[in-house]
Chain A
Amino acid sequence: MLSIENLHVNVGDKAILKGINLQINPGEVHAIMGPNGAGKSTLSHVLSGKAGYTVTQGKAIYEGKDLLDMDPELRAREGVFLAFQYPVEIPGVSNIYLLKAALNSIRKHHGLDEVDAMDFLTLVKDKIKLLQMDQQFLYRAVNEGFSGGEKKRNEILQAAILEPKLCILDETDSGLDIDALKIVAEGVNSLRSQDRSFLMITHYQRLLDYIKPDFVHVLADGQIVKTGGAELALELEAKGYEWVEGQAA
């Protein structure tokens, strides 16, 4: 599904990613862990098309297409979804409007008609229950005045409705208490399927207790320095990031 080869990325003159290689197949859940400043968020931003990053070498092929060459909205329509670390507040735009506009953009991209209003409402109400959110959320402005937990749940709600092929979760667990984390994890687990893949970026091992990854990669100083199964996260938790940072050097 996604194949990243020797990806080098700069911010200004500073090299942040220094040769990332990563292969994600359909249905797989990959976790990327690493200390602050390792380049985790840069990776998620580059894959989703945020401005301000320069790819100096390498490529990312998504479903046979050059991902890095696509506009952000095109990537999203092709099925790449980024759950933001810091979801943006958009006063004046209601949640339900954004959801509908986003879904219709995807449908249009695939040559389908706009979603029927009643069908859409049924779908949204169904998914909102899954995330244990109040229906009132739908009519509030996007993320405006939401708590940290509500913002993260809202991101997963969007994913549940847009049904992406590749979900990038950027520190979705940061700032969540255990109850909120469980709800978010449950939402994510319900989205797991044979042909949907996940790239979870996290600083903390705790998330992986609730969402079990197939692979864990450790990112340090812009490179993946270690790859293993779910047990690697536990080892990392026990030994600390100094352990892998030592290996990177």
Chain B
Amino acid sequence: MTSRYIADYETSTHSLPGQSLGWLSQLRADAFKKFSDKGFPSLREEEWRYTNVSAIEKKLFKPQLNSKNSVVDTAWLDDYRVEGALTFVMLNGHFSASLSTLDGLADDVVIASMANALEQQPELLKKYINQSVSNDEHSFVAFNTAWFTDGLFVHIPAKCIVEKPIQLLHVVTEAECLATSRNIIALDEMAEAKVIETFVGIDESYLSAIVTEVSIAKNAELTLFKMQSEGNKAYHFGGTYINQQRDSRFNHHNFAFGSLLARNDIHTDLDIASECDLNGLYLGIKRQHIDNHTRINHLKPHAISRQLYKGILNQRARGVFQGRVFVAEDAQKTDSEMNNRNLLLSNDAEIDTKPQLEIYADDVKCAHGVTVGQLDEKSIFYLQSRCIDEETARNMLTFAFANEMVDKIKIEALRDMLRRQVLKYFPQAGMGNNGI
């Protein structure tokens, strides 16, 4: 199947951004070779044993070599704009200036399309592309490196604190679209920023193959939000790869609602005394398959990592959580906690959860916990004794389980948007939009 992409690739490389740069065209060619040798990941690979991607091999997704004037339902799109944020819109794999609202940015902060940045600041980009992740990671990364058509480039200079959230609104409006975006978020020393990645699309089959590389310099802090609300026939492969220097902080809030099949990879490398806090919520219905894969590499001493992933799976939905914490020999005084909690609401729903600790240092504190269960009957009776009927009580408790993750969000407009998404899953919960 990769042969089709090979044929396409050979005729289209010249259209990809940055091809005039020798280092990049070489990088893309190497990446493409890796992809064509290996193909998409198979169930035989340990990291992919629960997620079968063979469905996408049978599809013929169309590379988007040039930006087109696609028709967009702006009222629909406006629902996904986070009020008060600077919004950078990617439409079918290309930056759309007309749909974006980027006014009011400080002069030294860069928010640019990758295509543009590769023309304007190629040396800066060379510092970041394939620095947080290599093409050997897995073939989706190689695939993205070879194919990326555009993306968001954010660069925050040292000591700059960006108050306004920066939103990447990634939109697909064409059936069979292959949207390959490569995003780079780079914070220099002591910078602080909040970035929101939002993925939406039509209810047709398409493929979003995204790689976001994050670089957080010393003592800088990034809060990254991801809301994946792709169309219900979409395939979403999103990798977020973070490189954290000493004393840096990375907070991640990862919400997976949409798509038919979704896979998230979140990998971070922790230097001395850096911290990461990974939060996730996945809601699956019908035949949705949602896979979250985290890897935290404690490479140096005194770093702290926290993870809480919660999932609710109904009908025939399937969830996967594979969380891996690696503690290197040198990473003494590591403090790590990993938790995965799941609610299964039907007999046919499934969760495969696999927390893994791999520890080579001897003076560390590492904990992990997993729960898989149904709603607590005591809580249901308590609510019934407070006049709430059983069905409403169940909806309320289920919503509350999810809402705990939404309540962590400090940006009010985003929190409201996330809550609306969660409420779509519990239409009978009888809750207002202000939470419960």
Most chain A CB within 10 A, of B379, B383, B396, B407, is at B383
B363: chain A residues within 8 A (beta carbon): none
> Are A82 and B436 touching (Cβ within 8 A)?
no
> Are B397 and A73 touching (Cβ within 8 A)?
no
14 contacts between A and B (CB under 8 A): A49-B384, A71-B390, A72-B384, A73-B387, A76-B384, A76-B386, A84-B382, A90-B382, A92-B402, A93-B400, A93-B436, A101-B387, A105-B387, A105-B389
Q: Does B49 contact A (CB under 8 A)?
A: no
> Are B397 and A105 touching (Cβ within 8 A)?
no
Task: State whether A73 and B384 are in contact (beta carbons under 8 Å apart), knowing that A90-B397, A90-B400, A92-B404 are contacts in the complex.
Answer: yes
With A76-B385, A77-B387, A105-B388 known, 9 other A-B pairs at CB within 8 A are A72-B385, A73-B389, A82-B385, A84-B382, A84-B385, A92-B401, A92-B436, A93-B400, A102-B386
B400: chain A residues within 8 A (beta carbon): 90-93, 141
B 371-415 to A, binary, CB cutoff 8 A, 1 in contact else 0: 000001111011111111110100011011111100100000000
Q: Which residue of chain A has its CB nearest to the CB of B401?
A: A92
B382: chain A residues within 8 A (beta carbon): 84, 87-88, 90
> Are A92 and B403 touching (Cβ within 8 A)?
yes
Q: Does A160 contact B (CB under 8 A)?
A: no
Q: Which residue of chain A has its CB nearest to the CB of B392?
A: A101
Q: Among A84, A92, A94, A106, point to the contact of B387 (Cβ < 8 A).
A: A106
Which 6 pairs across A and B sit closest by C-beta, in order of nearness? A92-B400, A105-B387, A72-B384, A88-B382, A97-B436, A102-B386
B435: chain A residues within 8 A (beta carbon): 94, 97
B388: chain A residues within 8 A (beta carbon): 73, 101-102, 105
A164 CA to B252 CA, complexed, in Å: 46
A84: chain B residues within 8 A (beta carbon): 382, 385
A50 CA to B379 CA, complexed, in Å: 11
A84 CA to B379 CA, complexed, in Å: 12
B403: chain A residues within 8 A (beta carbon): 92
> Are A98 and B384 touching (Cβ within 8 A)?
no
Q: How far is the CB of A103 from chain B (nearest CB, A)?
A: 8
A158 CA to B382 CA, complexed, in Å: 12
A105 CA to B388 CA, complexed, in Å: 7
A93 CA to B396 CA, complexed, in Å: 8
Q: How far is the CB of A170 from chain B (nearest CB, A)?
A: 11
Q: Which residue of chain B has its CB nearest to the CB of A96?
A: B436
Q: How far is the CB of B234 from chain A (nearest CB, A)?
A: 29
A 137-174 to B, binary, CB cutoff 8 A, 1 in contact else 0: 00001000000000000000010001000000000000
A82 CA to B381 CA, complexed, in Å: 11
List residues of B (351-382) whose CB comes within 8 Å of A's CBs. Answer: 376-379, 381-382
Q: Which residue of chain B has its CB nearest to the CB of A92?
A: B400
Q: How far is the CB of B323 from chain A (nearest CB, A)?
A: 22
A48 CA to B389 CA, complexed, in Å: 14
> Are B387 and A102 touching (Cβ within 8 A)?
yes
Q: How far is the CB of B44 from chain A (nearest CB, A)?
A: 40
A76: chain B residues within 8 A (beta carbon): 384-387
In this complex, how many residues of chain B approach chain A with their Cβ under 8 Å: the count is 28
Q: Does A249 contact B (CB under 8 A)?
A: no
Q: How far is the CB of A116 from chain B (nearest CB, A)?
A: 14
Q: Does B430 contact A (CB under 8 A)?
A: yes
A124 CA to B139 CA, complexed, in Å: 58
Q: Among B379, B387, B399, B401, point to the contact of A88 (Cβ < 8 A).
A: B379
A97 CA to B436 CA, complexed, in Å: 5
B381: chain A residues within 8 A (beta carbon): 50-51, 72, 88
A97: chain B residues within 8 A (beta carbon): 431, 435-436
Q: Which residue of chain B has its CB nearest to the CB of A89?
A: B379
Q: How far is the CB of A192 from chain B (nearest CB, A)?
A: 21
Q: Which residue of chain A has its CB nearest to the CB of B396?
A: A93
A72: chain B residues within 8 A (beta carbon): 381, 384-385
B 15-31 to A, binary, CB cutoff 8 A, 1 in contact else 0: 00000000000000000
Q: How far is the CB of A60 from chain B (nearest CB, A)?
A: 16
> Are A158 and B386 touching (Cβ within 8 A)?
yes
A106: chain B residues within 8 A (beta carbon): 387
A50: chain B residues within 8 A (beta carbon): 381
A102: chain B residues within 8 A (beta carbon): 386-388
Q: How far is the CB of A41 from chain B (nearest CB, A)?
A: 13
B 335-348 to A, binary, CB cutoff 8 A, 1 in contact else 0: 00000000000000
B377: chain A residues within 8 A (beta carbon): 51
Task: State whether A71 and B389 are in contact (beta carbons under 8 Å apart), knowing that A90-B397, A90-B400, A92-B401 are contacts in the complex.
Answer: yes
Most chain A CB within 10 A, of B386, B397, B407, B430, is at B386
B430: chain A residues within 8 A (beta carbon): 101
A77: chain B residues within 8 A (beta carbon): 387
Most chain A CB within 10 A, of B387, B396, B403, is at B387
Q: How far is the CB of B305 from chain A (nearest CB, A)?
A: 23
A 13-36 to B, binary, CB cutoff 8 A, 1 in contact else 0: 000000000000000000000000
Most chain B CB within 10 A, of A88, A93, A94, A141, is at A93
A109 CA to B399 CA, complexed, in Å: 24
Q: How far is the CB of A234 from chain B (nearest CB, A)?
A: 32
A 41-59 to B, binary, CB cutoff 8 A, 1 in contact else 0: 0000000111100000000
A72 CA to B380 CA, complexed, in Å: 10
Q: Among B378, B383, B399, point to the contact of A98 (Cβ < 8 A).
A: B383
A97 CA to B399 CA, complexed, in Å: 13
Q: How far is the CB of A230 from chain B (nearest CB, A)?
A: 28
A162 CA to B397 CA, complexed, in Å: 21
